[in-house]
Structure 1
Amino acid sequence: MEFDVIIVGGGPAGLSAAIRLRQLAIAAGNDEFMVCVVEKGSEFGAHTLSGAVIEPRALNELIPDWKEKGAPLNVPAIEDRVYMLGSATKATKLPDSIVPASMHNEGNYIVSLGNVVRWLAEQAEELEVMMFPGFAADDILYNDDGSVRGVLTGDMGVAANGEAKPSFEPGYELLGKYTIFAEGCRGHLGKRLISRFALDKDSDPQHYGIGLKELWEVSPEKHEQGVVMHGSGWPLTDTGSSGGWWLYFDENNQVSFGMVIDLSYSNPYMSPFDEMQRLKLHPVIRNVLEGGKRLSYGARALTKGGLNSLPKFTFPGGVLVGDDAGFLNPAKIKGTHTSMKSGMLAAEAIFEALQAGREYDDVVAYSTMYKESWLYQDNYEARNFAPAMHRMGQWMGGAFTFIEQNLLGGKMPL
């Protein structure tokens, strides 16, 4: 099956790229321009962990009338609370005046990210993007000159022992003039591409975290819709580990509770899951969750090295977007708006190349557009956050971040 552009991954980055490509094609009078999105989940949003605070900047650009179209951004963030937990019973709420600017969420929305992804998929379908949920991209296809030609989906109807069942169907070859890889953190195809094309040879080592998330329904008297809580310290300080936690108060008495732990921890006895369960016993968390009901839970890896760890994200025949490259802003603890913008920039660069009659080449314009965009500025202002936290610890690193973000506007000459 042949398309103009193939997109691997139906998350915020991949769907934003698909929508932008079709918008550009329709505006250019090329309604036959074919875009395909393959998503391993049974439906779009199936593998998206819900509960996030989203900055709407990219969405404002992609779909300016998103409110009229019913985008599920219903709960504005109205108050930020940041805590340092000193022990299993002690907590210090930081005054707003000393909270880093990147942690302020005025103008942002508390959302179910799964619902946002499903809504984006609906917008893509309305633009006649070819959508293939339930198909995992298993391998990369190359041209004779080594450029990416597309992907091969996985075989279906295979028994646990590897033998074909009566329902066996071989994978499909999906061929495109360009392929956008939007698999998320440590995507199995993205890893191969980074290695094959040595995309990270001029980058700092990447940093990763494990994010554990639970969605709770709490009693109405404990629910404070629109409140955003973040914190760090105990229990991770007991094991010399680093990370942080959050509570986001969404609509319908629902609360997203989660914890991110840096995967640089050195204590072999530290269990991220167990640390999250310990955290629930702290009065700050317990007072919210006690008497409530856990609705769902999950975990995923995060690419959190920031600007200095970004690989080269273009190569012959394709590009990396979203967390496949690592555009997450660790200082804001947000990656949805950055993923969406990266997908949009990639779409614009690729469409420009196709309009010029090119195919299978290195779309360097994507890198140029990135450096001229607000996305680069967003990443640049947060470039020192992760190094400061890792080298100075949470107290000194937090103080450094406050000075850089609040006093110097993210422009410290380091």
Structure 2
Amino acid sequence: MDYDVVIVGAGPSGLAAACRLKQVNADISVCVVEKGSEVGAHILSGAVFEPTPLNELFPEWKEMGAPLLTPVTEDDIFVFTGATKRIKVPGLFAPKTMHNDGNYVISLGKLCRWLAEQAENLGVEVFPGFAAAEILYGENNEVLGIATGDMGIGHNGEQKGSYMQGMELRGKYTLFSEGCRGSLGKQLIAKYQLDAGKDPQHYGLGIKELWTIPADQHKPGLVVHSAGWPLDESRSLGGGFLYHLEDNQVAVGLITNLSYTNPHVSPYDEFQRYKHHPEIAKYLEGGERITYGARALLKGGLQSQPKMSFPGGILIGDDAGTLNFAKIKGSHTAMKSGMVAAETVAEALAAEKSNTDLIEYAAAYKSSWAYKELHMQRNFGPAQHKFGNIIGSAYAFIDINIFNGMLPWTLSDKVADHETLKPASECPKIDYPKYDGKLSFDKASSVFMSNTNHEEDQPCHLVLADPDLPISKNLELYDEPAQRYCPAGVYEVVANDDGSQRFQINAQNCVHCKTCDIKEPSQNINWVVPEGAGGPNYPNM
């Protein structure tokens, strides 16, 4: 199937690009392919949304029914100094990036579904349930489009009775908007050396739950952020959040930076105990957990952002690392990167160009407010890594609030997250508390609430370069950290009948967070797309 533009991923950047292409020229043929069972099924974010790009894309979004229903009414920022203690940070001393006046507490999944409706109304073809599995290249190594994965392949690699061959979706240009650690984006960065001269990308793992809480505990529009406990006890970095939406719902979550050094750290268990802090528990007690999910996020900033264009296409959104970690927001910058890409591609098509390297995109992106915002806040993430949450935030206050991001230097962090683990023998073990079934829950029940499902008889989408390495190296050196960094119980070390041990992969549990692809110390795990429509089915995350 031939199109002018093929877009991989129905997230905010891909859908914003699709809409903008049609707004510029309604005759441009555009398709969006999405691996989730429906648009929004794989979308997970906090989320506090900054509406700047939506104002540009659809100025009448309120009249059009966009699901921005809960304006932010109050910001609470805390440093948790222990399991029951906290210090409230006065707004005057918080980095101005943490102020949310004019923003909205939303479900990003709902917003993406709404954007998909607008795209289809404009004539975009949206194909959910089809995973982009392969990049198509031309004779000169230019990208010609993508192929979706075959369906009906058994775990042994043989075709089943339900076999259906994948489709080739060919485009004059292809936009890759797969989100953080996109499986095709990773290949493109390596093939074209798009990250040459850049800092390694840095990541966090965000784990989130959606709750319904008693009405007298609900404060629509309240945004709570915290740093410190429990992560400081394991010398890990990151922070927590609790956002009050509409309908007596709150989103609660914890982001654990994947630069942590202790292989005994379990981000999942850090999140479970986070909910027991009195400042968080007072909102959740007596409530009901609705759903659970997890997703890695990028936080390297401009220092880690690769060249975004290559022959035949552009990386947009978190495939290119556009998230603003200083704001703990990325949807607005992702959308803007997609809109700028759409305008650049439309100009190229008007000039009858195809499958070229649109190097002019770099200048257009650099002149946008998204780039300028990221440049102003470029030192926030490296400062956190170098100095820790508290001193790093103090540095950010001086850099951003006082100097407006204009200090004449750029901090750097050259150590990749997968290189930070210390041997388990050098690190203290962590005794995580038992789950109480009221605020904290086991992994199995959590994965169940993510509505995750995969066709069981299919090739494993978690591919080990060396199948022996988890036991022969990682178990002794790091106590096999995959058992703990995975938030869905995918990886286990189990005993064989003869007393030996083996590495077991429960791929059916995978919520597509990509943490294993990022944190595995030897980069031994390669996450590839499973059969289309597999994975979580988030209703409104």
Kindly report which structure 2 residues correspond to 1:65-80, keeping only aligned pairs within 5 A, or say none.
Answer: 65-80=60-75
SS in 2 for 1:232: strand
The whole-number CA distance in structure 2 between the counterparts of 1:81 and 1:413 is 31
The whole-number CA distance in structure 2 between the counterparts of 1:66 and 1:159 is 45
Pairing partner for 1:244 from 220, 239, 249: 239
Pairing partner for 1:224 from 219, 227, 238: 219
1:51 positional shift: 4.0
Deviation track 1:170-205 (CA, whole Å, cap 9, x = no partner) reads 011111000000001111100000000000002111
Q: Percent identity?
A: 56
1:149 maps to 144
1:108 positional shift: 0.2
The whole-number CA distance in structure 2 between the counterparts of 1:413 and 1:399 is 18
1:161 positional shift: 2.9
Pairing partner for 2:94 from 95, 99, 106: 99
Pairing partner for 1:338 from 320, 329, 333: 333
Deviation track 1:245-285 (CA, whole Å, cap 9, x = no partner) reads 10000000000001111101001111000000111111011
Pairing partner for 1:273 from 263, 268, 275: 268
Taking structure 1 as the reference length, the TM-score comes to 0.98
Pairing partner for 2:32 from 37, 45, 55: 37
Unaligned runs of 5+ in 2: 410-541
The whole-number CA distance in structure 1 between the counterparts of 2:16 and 2:32 is 11
1:212 maps to 207
The whole-number CA distance in structure 2 between the counterparts of 1:167 and 1:63 is 42
Aligned residue type for 2:100: N
SS in 2 for 1:83: strand
Aligned residue type for 2:352: G
In the alignment of these two chains, the number of paired residues is 409
SS in 1 for 2:141: coil
Kindly report which structure 2 residues correspond to 1:1-400, keeping only aligned pairs within 5 A, or say none.
Answer: 1-26=1-26, 31=27, 33-49=28-44, 51-400=46-395
More divergent stretch after superposition (150-159 vs 314-323): 150-159
Deviation track 1:121-155 (CA, whole Å, cap 9, x = no partner) reads 00000001011100000000000011000101000
SS in 2 for 1:20: helix
2:426 maps to none
The whole-number CA distance in structure 2 between the counterparts of 1:46 and 1:350 is 28
SS in 2 for 1:120: helix
Unaligned runs of 5+ in 1: none
Query: Do the aligned partners of 1:329 and 1:335 also contact (CA within 8 Å) in 2?
Result: yes
1:404 positional shift: 1.3
The whole-number CA distance in structure 2 between the counterparts of 1:283 and 1:217 is 18
The whole-number CA distance in structure 1 between the counterparts of 2:141 and 2:89 is 54
1:392 positional shift: 1.0
SS in 2 for 1:247: strand
The whole-number CA distance in structure 2 between the counterparts of 1:157 and 1:206 is 35
The whole-number CA distance in structure 2 between the counterparts of 1:236 and 1:71 is 36
The whole-number CA distance in structure 1 between the counterparts of 2:344 and 2:87 is 47
SS in 2 for 1:345: helix
RMSD of aligned residue pairs (Cα, Å): 0.8
Aligned residue type for 2:391: M
SS in 1 for 2:179: coil
The whole-number CA distance in structure 2 between the counterparts of 1:51 and 1:291 is 22
Deviation track 1:275-319 (CA, whole Å, cap 9, x = no partner) reads 001111110111111111110110011111001110000000011
The whole-number CA distance in structure 2 between the counterparts of 1:318 and 1:49 is 25
SS in 2 for 1:332: coil
SS in 1 for 2:347: helix
1:360 positional shift: 0.7
Deviation track 1:206-245 (CA, whole Å, cap 9, x = no partner) reads 1111110110111111101000000010010110100001
2:419 maps to none
Taking structure 2 as the reference length, the TM-score comes to 0.75
**4+ long deviations beyond 4 Å:** none
Aligned residue type for 1:111: I
Deviation track 1:326-358 (CA, whole Å, cap 9, x = no partner) reads 000000000000000000000000110111111
1:407 positional shift: 1.2
